[in-house]
Amino acid sequence: MKSQSKGPSRASILEIAREAKVSTATVSRAFNRPELLHAETLGRVKRVARQLGFRPNLVGRSLRRGSTQTIGVLLPTLTNPVFAECFEGACRYAQNIGYSIMVATTNYDHEGELESLHTLLDHQVDGLILTLGSAVPLASHDLLQRAQATPYILAYSMLPGIPSVTIDDFRASQHLAELLAAFNHRRMVFLSGPLKDSDRAARRLLGARACAERLGFDPVPHVVMPTHVECDPVQVERLLQHHRPPIAVMCSNDLLALSLMSICRSLELRIPQDVSVCGFDGIAPGAMYDPPLTSVVQPSIEIGHIACKKLLDHLTANHRLASAIVPHRIFEGGTVCTLPPRPDKGAAP
Amino acid sequence: MKSQSKGPSRASILEIAREAKVSTATVSRAFNRPELLHAETLGRVKRVARQLGFRPNLVGRSLRRGSTQTIGVLLPTLTNPVFAECFEGACRYAQNIGYSIMVATTNYDHEGELESLHTLLDHQVDGLILTLGSAVPLASHDLLQRAQATPYILAYSMLPGIPSVTIDDFRASQHLAELLAAFNHRRMVFLSGPLKDSDRAARRLLGARACAERLGFDPVPHVVMPTHVECDPVQVERLLQHHRPPIAVMCSNDLLALSLMSICRSLELRIPQDVSVCGFDGIAPGAMYDPPLTSVVQPSIEIGHIACKKLLDHLTANHRLASAIVPHRIFEGGTVCTLPPRPDKGAAP
DNA sequence: GTGAAAGCGCTAACAT
DNA sequence: ATGTTAGCGCTTTCAC
């Protein structure tokens, strides 16, 4: 029968019961409903428990209660500060009210995303905060079916009918493009990783294009880098040969923007005079740069915080799980230059 | 009796057994020891399981097996890329071989550290990767006692007799100071957060001082910032008034260094001509800076990877849990200037 | 090759 | 105010 490998396992409720001359139920109550116990009994039990270094086994409790007091967090990578901050916001909140966190990272990979999600579910997490690469396919395929039992909320996504916390990427992107326009930029390029891995990037591209179209600018070309976190120097060089300076490059996130700037420097292109750059996310390192990176700032810690709060309010107080759109703001750093005003569209060449 | 809150909970082994006309034991075997089953039975069970969307409840399994297939990771904050990278390294490895991860962040707080550690233990994690603020007091107080049952390994710490993975901070710091010396710097300041929260910072200070002393330089003053992640502008300004440029500031980590540089810029001090800066950790944003931050590079992903591998080798193959010191390297960015050679120490003023 | 049954540690009816 | 007891979902002897 005995098949556990552990040595002298931690004391269980049974030892405490024996030692304190009470039933196991009483020991349990001492930790869960102390008001129910006679002060003296309570004291005795607690004392014995402390003496034997007893701590309730949360696995046993979880099995019995049907709740693990744990939430699952799924995200692409903590290497991107934007997700790290979001996680931090969620984590702090959860820990504060006694919930633990199980994480899984997907590295923007679809396969892994699904598998990790299953594992989290298998561990019986009480709820989930999901930052998916692309929320659309996964959400329909799998989540809605099996997660009917496990509440979840998306971070950084916006899907009709599904609880989520995010900025309005589409509008934010338009705002950013408007800013460029206000500085007399009319030639813009949008740079991102593969869109299929990130519907955020996709929405941002759409926003930029919508703005450009509305203002009657040239269509915004889309340049695809191999990943979402770093630019390919060769492609960047080619890009900047093709679209000669001055040009404005909107990057789908700050990591790409910083990487781009670093490559520009090595190509001896000045920022912002030759190349104007702006990003998305508003991660801390961007603001500390020289020049500071102009970017759409997301309140990432808050996004994590809110997502977690909503989820836990739902779990503990049965609040309805509703979506939230949080405000973004534009941080005007120094990576966008002012161009001389140009003749109106439609003017002769 | 029934007291779980969940609705139509996921199918359990019992339903599968009924539906497939076998015992629960057989269902269990289908997932754990399929070789033992008649091919036909196996097929039938698997089919039914798939049909009902069955997935083994890991809480039940954990309770029975006495192992959760989960490791606990404790760290100050994922907001610091150095820990995020370490986590990423560990996470990827763990997930690859089927382990899950429960995280807790401490925000460099002692109280929280202990509490979070207990929670992790209560969840019956099979092992722990710990990045403690200051390993010394905690290790002796609590871990050694109760964690006798739960194996653990420290990341970024070095404590005699305790398994850990880290660079040699003391030596690394000396190397960095030697680099400064080679550039003819003789006036150095060491800047960090509160030492009691970070024995890393403490070891690095020691290394710098040891080097300065060995080379016969002036004693290295220690300036303490309120936190480990950001400089206080007021203190920085005071510091740079007191120790007038040119001066070299060694920061106990890159986040402080970047913050310092940002403040210097706003004070119109040039880097590196007026203030030479160097850091520790070698986080990605530092290398992308202009000028790139000179720093001691730690292989953080690898540190996480190795720590996790060692821990899991111990758990799964009973390998002895041993310490590792991984190599650091100095990244010579552009934040340290070359000073004109100065007369030897002891020369008349 | 398969089933019966015990039990991991805990909690919550229910009974007293 | 406390004890008795069943059982959460699973694995694993032991018996056939």
The verdict on B238 touching A (C-beta cutoff 8 Å) is: no
Instruction: State the pLDDT at residue A330.
Output: 97
Give the DSSP per-residue string, A30-47: HHH-GGGS-HHHHHHHHH
A84–chain B nearest CA distance, Å: 6
Q: Give the mean pLDDT of A29-56.
A: 94
The verdict on B163 touching A (C-beta cutoff 8 Å) is: no
Q: Give the mean pLDDT of A198-223.
A: 94
Instruction: State the pLDDT at residue A180.
Output: 95
Instruction: State the pLDDT at residue B135.
Output: 72
Residue A99 has pLDDT above 80, yes or no: yes
Instruction: State the pLDDT at residue B2.
Output: 36
Nucleotides of C under 7 A from a protein CB: 1-13
Beta-carbon contacts below 8 Å between A and B: 158
State how beta strands A294-297 and A329-331 pair.
antiparallel
Residues from chain B contacting residue A334 (CB–CB below 8 Å): none
A41: CB within 7 A of chain D nucleic strand: yes
Residues from chain A contacting residue B314 (CB–CB below 8 Å): none
Write out the H or E segment, with its range, that includes residue A301.
helix A300-317
Report the protein residue whose CA lies nearest the C1' of nucleotide C5.
B25
Closest CA to A159 of A204, A203, A96, A122: A203
Scan residues 80-99 of B and list those with Cβ closer than 8 Å to A.
81, 84-85, 87-88, 91-92, 95
Give the DSSP per-residue string, B312-335: HHHHHH------EEPPPEEE--SS
**Closest nt to A61 (CA→C1')?**
C10
A163–chain B nearest CA distance, Å: 19
The verdict on A289 touching B (C-beta cutoff 8 Å) is: yes
| Local confidence pLDDT in tens for the 349 residues of chain B | 333 333 456 799 999 999 999 999 999 999 999 999 999 999 999 999 999 999 999 999 999 999 999 999 999 999 999 999 999 999 999 999 999 999 999 988 888 888 999 999 999 999 999 999 877 776 655 665 655 689 999 999 988 888 999 999 999 999 999 999 999 999 999 999 999 888 899 999 999 999 999 999 989 999 999 999 999 999 999 999 888 878 999 999 999 999 999 999 999 999 999 999 999 999 998 998 889 999 999 999 999 999 999 999 999 999 999 999 999 999 999 999 999 886 554 433 3
Nearest CA in chain A to B68: A59
B25: CB within 7 A of chain C nucleic strand: yes
Locate A149 and state its tokens. 């039992």
Output phi, psi for A189, to 5 deg. Answer: -125, 140
Q: Write the residue in B57, B107, B258 that is nearest to A285 by C-beta.
A: B258
> Tokens 């005995």 — which residue?
A2
Residue A2 has pLDDT above 50, yes or no: no
- Selected for mutation to probe chain B from A78, A88, A255 (highest B CB count within 10 Å) is A78
Average pLDDT, chain A: 90
Find the Å distance, CA of residue A22 to C1' of nucleotide D3: 8
Instruction: State the pLDDT at residue A149.
Output: 81
pLDDT tier at A111, thresholds 50, 70, 90? confident
Output phi, psi for A12, to 5 deg. Answer: -110, 175
Scan residues 103-122 of B and list those with Cβ closer than 8 Å to A.
103-105, 107, 112, 116, 118-122
Q: Write the residue in A4, A78, A101 that is nearest to B88 by C-beta.
A: A78
Cα separation of A226 and A42, whole Å?
62
Spell out which residues of B between 56 and 95 contact strand D, using CB within 7 Å.
56-57, 59-61, 63-65
Q: Provide the whole-model pTM.
A: 0.92
Q: Give the mean pLDDT of A6-23.
A: 83
Instruction: State the pLDDT at residue B9.
Output: 63
Residue A290 has pLDDT above 60, yes or no: yes
Q: Do A78 and B78 touch (CB under 8 A)?
A: yes
Give the DSSP per-residue string, A113-181: HHHHHHHHHHTT-SEEEE--SSHHHHIIIIIHHHTTSS-EEEES--BTTB-EEE--HHHHHHHHHHHHH
> Tokens 């700050």 — which residue?
A254
State how beta strands B294-297 and B329-331 pair.
antiparallel
Nearest CA in chain A to B293: A289
Residue A136 has pLDDT above 90, yes or no: no
Residues from chain A contacting residue B289 (CB–CB below 8 Å): 289-290
Phi-psi region at B171: left, alpha or beta (left = phi > 0; alpha = psi -120 to 50): alpha
Cα separation of B60 and A59, whole Å?
8
Report the protein residue whose CA lies nearest the C1' of nucleotide C3.
B23
Per-residue pLDDT tens digits for A61-82: 999 999 999 999 999 999 999 9
Output b/e per residue, B140-154; b: 16+ Cβ within 10 A. eeebeeebeebbbbb
Nearest CA in chain B to A106: B92
Locate A16 and state its tokens. 């405490």
Output b/e per residue, A263-281; b: 16+ Cβ within 10 A. bbbeeebebbebbbbbbbb
> Tokens 């000073």 — which residue?
B339
Q: Write the residue in A79, A84, A124 that is nearest to B59 by C-beta.
A: A124
Residues from chain A contacting residue B122 (CB–CB below 8 Å): 55-58
Find the Å distance, CA of residue B55 to C1' of nucleotide D12: 20
Instruction: State the pLDDT at residue A143.
Output: 63
B41: CB within 7 A of chain C nucleic strand: yes
B23: CB within 7 A of chain C nucleic strand: yes
Instruction: State the pLDDT at residue A148.
Output: 61
pLDDT tier at A188, thresholds 50, 70, 90? very high
**Percent of chain A whose pLDDT exceeds 90:** 77
> Tokens 């509160």 — which residue?
B194
